[in-house]
């Protein structure tokens, strides 16, 4: 099993028109956050203005989650207009080519990926066990301080994590287990889990 820890201070931070964005992970590492120059990107951003317009990213799919406040979203495509209201920790999936606007201030979490990949995102509770599948990457972005326990070739490892840290885990030849614990109240999200794998239908 391959395990990589990206500390909060390692993340790339930049300003955008509505706040601050933190790039948690970009693949490939040699890519750039420009259309066509990366395969997938994981980030979190502060939305400090009441209304904002998303950058168009044709050729990509997007997942969006608010980490704290409700968010109203409008997705306009060539064929339809869709209005959505998501609560904190709910996920909205949409096409990067859509003209997307949001209403509401929040801290959000984003995954942007090419259709050659499949991605899922969810908020994970304080105690969580996961058997890892082969050929899949698992990312865990910590919302609070916590402890991660993982098993690699039957050997147990424990890592202390801080809020803002991100762990990437890849399954190797052995079946592995990963768990996360924190002092959050039961059922309160402690981490955002992002799962990414190759889209076999696109091959």
Structural domain containing residue 36: 11-115
105 shares its domain with 126 = no
What pTM value is reported for the model? Answer: 0.92
Distance between CA atoms of residues 187 and 165, nearest Å: 20
Beta bridge partners of 180: 128, 148
Residue by residue, DSSP assigns 150-170 as: EEETTEEEEEEE-TT-EEEEE
108 shares its domain with 15 = yes
Neighbours of 180 (CB within 10 A): 24
Distance between CA atoms of residues 200 and 10, nearest Å: 32
Number of domains forming the structure of the chain:
2
Q: Which DSSP helix (H) or strand (E) runs through 45?
A: strand 40-47
93 shares its domain with 15 = yes
59 shares its domain with 111 = yes
Three-class secondary structure of residue 98 per DSSP: coil
135 shares its domain with 76 = no
Judge residue 87's burial from the number of C-beta atoms within 10 Å of its C-beta, 0-12 exposed, 13-18 middle, 19 or more buried.
Answer: exposed
- CATH code: domain of residue 139: 2.60.120.10
Per run of 10 residues, the mean pLDDT along the chain (length 203 residues) is 87 88 96 96 95 93 97 94 96 97 96 98 81 88 91 81 93 69 80 94 66
| CB distance 163 to 190 below 8 Å | no
How far apart, in Å, do the first and last CA atoms of the chain sit? 25
Distance between CA atoms of residues 140 and 180, nearest Å: 9
Chosen domain end from 115, 141, 172:
115
Beta bridge partners of 92: 64
What's the pLDDT tens digit per position in 101-154?
Answer: 999 999 999 999 999 999 999 998 866 777 788 889 999 999 999 998 887 777
How far out from the chain centre does Cα 156 lie?
26
């Amino acid at each position: 099993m391959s395990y990589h820890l990206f500390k909060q201070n390692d993340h790339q931070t930049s300003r955008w028109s509505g706040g601050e964005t933190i790039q948690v992970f970009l693949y490939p590492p040699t890519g750039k956050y420009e259309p066509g120059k990366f395969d997938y990107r994981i980030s979190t951003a502060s939305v400090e203005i009441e209304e904002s317009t998303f950058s168009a990213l044709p050729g990509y799919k997007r997942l969006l989650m608010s980490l704290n406040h409700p968010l109203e979203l409008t997705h306009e495509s060539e064929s339809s207009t869709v209005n959505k209201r998501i609560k904190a920790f709910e996920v909205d999936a949409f096409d990067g080519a859509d003209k997307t606007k949001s209403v509401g201030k929040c801290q959000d979490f984003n995954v942007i990926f090419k259709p050659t990949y499949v991605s899922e995102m969810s908020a994970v509770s304080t105690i969580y066990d996961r058997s890892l599948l082969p050929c899949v990457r698992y990312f865990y972005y910590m919302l609070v301080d916590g402890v991660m326990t993982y098993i690699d070739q039957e050997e147990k490892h424990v890592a202390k994590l801080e809020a803002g840290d991100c762990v990437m885990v890849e399954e190797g030849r052995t079946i592995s287990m990963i768990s996360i614990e924190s002092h959050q109240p039961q059922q309160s999200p402690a981490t955002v889990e992002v799962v990414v794998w190759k889209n076999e239908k696109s091959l």
